Amino acid sequence: MDPDAFKLTFFEDSLLRMKDIKVIGWLQKLFYLAVVWPWSLALIRKMVRWPLDCFYHLIFLLTFAYRYMRSNRLSPLDMVWFVLPGTL
């Protein structure tokens, strides 16, 4: 493989070339919810078959931000101030 062909981030694509790689990626984005709420696993198994890329990405970003906020002991307001400078 050509090293220049690699994406800069693995959050958007995977180097793995497998049959159900999209489904595996969607499952990875919902994994935190399955760990926190094990009862949701049956729903998540069905959901990952639906092509809802933007929804899965949004869920991943929200759960990632929540975990970052909790691990760094930030308040929701601190998190907003942390995110805003990068978006302006």
**For the chain, which residues make up each domain, given as ranges?**
3-87
Residue ranges for the chain with pLDDT beneath 50: none
pLDDT in the model for residue 26: 84
pLDDT in the model for residue 77: 86
pLDDT in the model for residue 11: 55
CB atoms within 10 A of CB 48: 20
pLDDT in the model for residue 22: 81
Record the pTM. 0.67
35 contacts 57 by C-beta, under 8 angstroms? no
Please tell me what DSSP assigns to residue 5: G
